[in-house]
Chain A
Amino acid sequence: MLCLELLLDQQGATYPDISASFPYANRMQRTIADLLGIVTEPMEDCRPWLNHGAWPADYFPLRHEVTGKETFPACELQDYPFVRVEGDGVHEIAVGPVHAGIIEPGHFRFSVVGEKVLRLEERLGYKHKGIDKRFEEIPAKDGYRLAGRVSGDSTVAFSWAYCMALESICNTRTPARARWLRAVLLERERVANHLGDLGALANDAAFAFGLTQFMRLKEDWLRLNQRLFGHRLLMDVVIPGGVAVDLENAGISELLTQCQVIAKEVQNLRAIYENHAGLQDRFIATGRVTKELATTLGLNGFAGRASGVPADLRADFGMAPYGGHDFKKAVHRNGDVAARVTVRFDEIAESLRLIRLLATELAPGEVVVPLEAVAETKLGAGWIEGWRGEVFIALESDGEKIRRCHCHDPSWQNWPVLEHAVIGNIVPDFPLINKSFNLSYAGPDL
């Protein structure tokens, strides 16, 4: 990790455009322009990203001189200049922000010829609710709750990353038992999401059996979360200084039993998936992202690993308790929907193995310690391999108040890759491809 500091002049501040080296920086740079009024030099893509007209173009909510409480009369609808594809028989399909299902809002503009997708352009930002500014209003010790609601399906990853950042500022070391429990929680979150998506993927390929089966396993999984940790999705369980809930011995044995049961069930279902010709026909060669493309565009998380990019913080960073457990990365070369399905199956198996190991070697002792006081405002960082990819949090605080906090969802990097993954595929395969990545809208919209 590299932290670069660049001092800006007060007036007309600019910074170098880095989107040539890091293509996914495009949307982040546009976000910075929308929220802070700081632009790159040169700024080739000047289209607003988060500002859909709800506030004036000369209002910059993240600047300290405004409170963020200012409201403005609703503006007229503004035209967003999508890139047009010209040619004989090319037409556009506009989808969203409200989709035909229980899904988050976002707009997709497809340019197609017949059934074939020539180009997809995403327009997101519909869920922007000013989380970065909101952080400045809440005490540092409570920030983990807001961080845990940046993207609800990754609540453990975000709250852990937030706590890691705050604990580094406060120079506080969490007890070993808390660290082990945090990893158990993170792996449980990973398994829950993979279970849900594996079911939904089969459903999108018209194999409803898969959805029914995996939703049953997921429900069993979430109910044990509720019983052992007091929340089905594990919200607010990771807290600054440790974790909010300890595991009793009875709970540990329940955990171990469930891991065994789920491992066996998933193995059975995997065999059914792999032998189902119709399913494999839809999965194989669909939505392919080559290793070259994945590397150029910065695809991360399990989707990156399915395209042969072997990055996984749990192994590469080796932070306790992940180091020393012979952790195996799930990697595949094909980069298609089938590869992402395979990697998800492999990751479930590995997470179940890890949970069993971690739960049996829990160190005795306390699960939470108080944070130490700090004298000055410092910068802290949290970096966690969530189920979707790398979650990063930068926090500037004196341990009491939050000066700034930014939560970075891995979907920032992965959304632009989806635009490439669908090229040349047919429109009906889009839901399948989209689901195989299952990116967060709430996370990057903030």
Chain B
Amino acid sequence: MLKTLFQIGKQGIQTEPTPDLGSDFLLPAHRLRNEILEVLGRSLTIREVDAGSCNACELEIHATNNLYYNLEGLGIKFVASPRHADMLLVTGPVSRNMAMALKRTYDAMPAPKLVVAVGDCTINGGIFGENYACCGGVGKILPVDHFIHGCPPPPIELLKGILTAVRLRYGHPVVQDK
């Protein structure tokens, strides 16, 4: 027990500042929380669905919850049921075997039903293409609010993409950095 406490004490708080959404958009954590509250009236809850990814995107989505990025500290959390989710985070080019499960998960969500697609292969199938087994992109099945590029996108890009999607939907200005 002592060792555990010592380790916690030694480590201290390692969380890093929230990412910059563009040069004009320095966002301190408290403003971000306020903005999420303003837009959604509560915290932002996300349901993740893997629709045929190679599992690399899942590794990076997990990483957003580590103490450096501390997604939950911003009022954003992953939930187990689509019925509790504001946002659907989809990975993979959508295998035909997952298409129905993906659609049903979306249908089970309450409004506002934000959809964010994670990874290059969600755009048009990417390296996996489109064929008898692969739909070739999330857009073929669901309306997508925002695509996060990368193979896989690193955690900081995931954070930016999630925030961008919230703003796009609610008409707040978004400064895209290229």
Binding site for B on A (CB under 8 A): 50, 52, 54-55, 59, 61, 68-72, 74, 77, 97-98, 100-105, 125-131, 133-134, 137, 145-146, 149-153, 155, 196, 209, 212-213, 215-216, 218-219, 222, 226, 232-233, 235, 268-269, 271-272, 275-276, 440-442, 445
Q: Which residues of B contact A268 (CB under 8 A)?
A: 3, 7
Interface CB pairs A-B, < 8 A, 5:
A74-B96, A103-B58, A128-B97, A196-B62, A442-B53
User: Which residue on A lies nearest to B47, using beta carbons?
Assistant: A98
**A97-B98, A104-B55, A153-B55 are contacts. A69–B7 as well, Cβ < 8 Å?**
no
**A54-B97, A100-B80, A129-B134 are contacts. A216–B55 as well, Cβ < 8 Å?**
no
Structural contact, B67 and A216, CB atoms closer than 8 A: yes
Binary per-residue interface labels of chain B (118-153) against chain A in the complex, 1 for a CB within 8 Å, 0 otherwise = 000000000111111110000000000000000110
Which listed segment binds A: B30-38, B99-107, B159-167?
Answer: B99-107
**A103-B50, A105-B101, A232-B154 are contacts. A153–B3 as well, Cβ < 8 Å?**
no
Does B54 touch A at the CB level, under 8 Å?
yes
Q: A383 to B7: give the CA distance in the assembly, Å.
A: 40
Structural contact, A233 and B56, CB atoms closer than 8 A: yes
**A127-B92, A149-B56, A215-B67 are contacts. A102–B133 as well, Cβ < 8 Å?**
no
Binary per-residue interface labels of chain B (36-65) against chain A in the complex, 1 for a CB within 8 Å, 0 otherwise = 000000000000111111111111111101
Structural contact, B56 and A129, CB atoms closer than 8 A: no
Q: Which residues of B contact A126 (CB under 8 A)?
A: 52, 95, 97-98, 101
Return the contact of B133 from the options A54, A137, A213, A216 (Cβ within 8 A).
A54
Structural contact, A74 and B154, CB atoms closer than 8 A: no
Structural contact, A102 and B132, CB atoms closer than 8 A: no
Q: A216 to B134: give the CA distance in the assembly, Å.
A: 35
Structural contact, A149 and B127, CB atoms closer than 8 A: yes
Structural contact, B7 and A442, CB atoms closer than 8 A: no
Return the contact of B97 from the options A59, A100, A125, A152 (Cβ within 8 A).
A125
Q: A50 to B57: give the CA distance in the assembly, Å.
A: 23
User: Which residue on A lies nearest to B104, using beta carbons?
Assistant: A98
Q: A203 to B80: give the CA distance in the assembly, Å.
A: 16
Does B11 touch A at the CB level, under 8 Å?
yes
Structural contact, B97 and A134, CB atoms closer than 8 A: no
Q: A219 to B48: give the CA distance in the assembly, Å.
A: 21
Structural contact, B68 and A216, CB atoms closer than 8 A: yes
A193 → B minimal CB distance (Å): 9
User: Which residue on A lies nearest to B121, using beta carbons?
Assistant: A149
Return the contact of A275 from the options B3, B59, B134 (Cβ within 8 A).
B3
B126 → A minimal CB distance (Å): 9
User: Which residue on B lies nearest to A56, using beta carbons?
Assistant: B132
A345 → B minimal CB distance (Å): 16
A286 → B minimal CB distance (Å): 22
Does B8 touch A at the CB level, under 8 Å?
yes
Most buried by B among A149, A196, A441: A149
Q: A74-B100, A146-B127 are in contact. List 18 more A-B contacts (CB 8 A).
A: A50-B133, A74-B99, A98-B101, A102-B50, A105-B49, A127-B52, A127-B92, A129-B131, A151-B55, A152-B53, A152-B56, A152-B152, A153-B59, A209-B7, A216-B68, A235-B151, A272-B3, A272-B4
